[in-house]
Amino acid sequence: MNVGFSAVDLIIFVVSLLIAMTIHEAMHAYVGLQLGDTTAEEQGRISLNPLRHIDPIYTIVLPVITYILFRAPILAAKPVPFNPYRVRFGEWGAALIALAGPLSNFGLAVVASIILRIVGIDTFIGYALAQFLEINVLLFIFNLIPIPPLDGSRVLFAFAPEALQDLMRQVEPYGMYIIFALVLLGGFGGWLDSLNQMVLQLLL
């Protein structure tokens, strides 16, 4: 997301992102607990406290650097841990944990769109809700990209044949570098923006 901010825009962006990110990560942890894995709960990740989900490097330092260099903040929250051997339903359980995060962002976007229809966009609340909605749609779509370690890769892994699963395991240690490179070099082309606009139009 490209952002050219006033101070108010910056506050709205940061608050919206913290809310969206916190609920996204907390839902990963909550669904993991419901599927029998207490790992995230034991680390305090079923929490609406944003500090529980912030990684000093990926959530704070990285977006500052990428915004200064590329005018586009790139960031990630602290990954929610889970033990695949304790999760019910094996790979399918892991896929459900992964889906919980993006689906929570979609749910937040739906709620924001409903309230936005009521209050209208020509108010400060409406303006802030529109930014919140856009951020959640972006997180919903982006996290479903099937490149490790994004959530979509866990969903694909559950359906993938063994050969593709082996390839995904090999790619995963380098996945974050691949994602950053694709974002910065425009490797996603226009289709990511097109999907964002499609979902935004559907909700609005």
The pLDDT value given to residue 73: 67
Dist. CA 89–CA 11, nearest whole Å: 41
Tell me, yes or no, whether 112 lies in a domain: yes
Q: Which of 74, 75, 106 is nearest to 200 (CA)?
A: 106
Dist. CA 50–CA 59, nearest whole Å: 11
Tell me, yes or no, whether 61 lies in a domain: yes
The pLDDT value given to residue 65: 79
The pLDDT value given to residue 68: 73
Which tens digits make up the pLDDT trace of 54-77? Answer: 998 888 888 777 767 766 667 789
Tell me, yes or no, whether 184 lies in a domain: yes
Helix/strand/coil for 151: helix
The pLDDT value given to residue 186: 72
Quick one: CA dihedral 30, 35, 38, 39, positive or negative? negative
The pLDDT value given to residue 5: 62
Tell me, yes or no, whether 144 lies in a domain: yes
154, 95 contact by CB (below 8 A): yes
Q: Which of 72, 83, 97, 17 is nearest to 50 (CA)?
A: 17
Tell me, yes or no, whether 18 lies in a domain: yes
The pLDDT value given to residue 3: 47
Q: Which of 95, 55, 94, 89 is nearest to 75 (CA)?
A: 55
Tell me, yes or no, whether 1 lies in a domain: no
Quick one: CA dihedral 54, 1, 17, 169, positive or negative? negative
Domain count, the chain: 1
Structure tokens at 113: 């769109």
Place of tokens 């034991």: 42
Dist. CA 43–CA 141, nearest whole Å: 27
Q: Which of 169, 133, 142 is nearest to 17 (CA)?
A: 133
Which tens digits make up the pLDDT trace of 142-170? Answer: 999 999 889 999 999 999 999 999 999 99
Tell me, yes or no, whether 148 lies in a domain: yes
Tell me, yes or no, whether 2 lies in a domain: no
- The pTM assigned to this predicted structure is 0.90
Instruction: List the domain range (segments joined by +) for residue 93.
Output: 7-203
Dist. CA 89–CA 34, nearest whole Å: 12
Q: If the chain, 204 residues long, is cut into consecutive pieces of 10 residues, what is the mean pLDDT of each piece?
A: 68 92 97 97 95 90 75 79 93 96 97 94 93 94 91 94 93 88 74 87 88
DSSP 57: I
The pLDDT value given to residue 17: 92
The residue type at 97: I
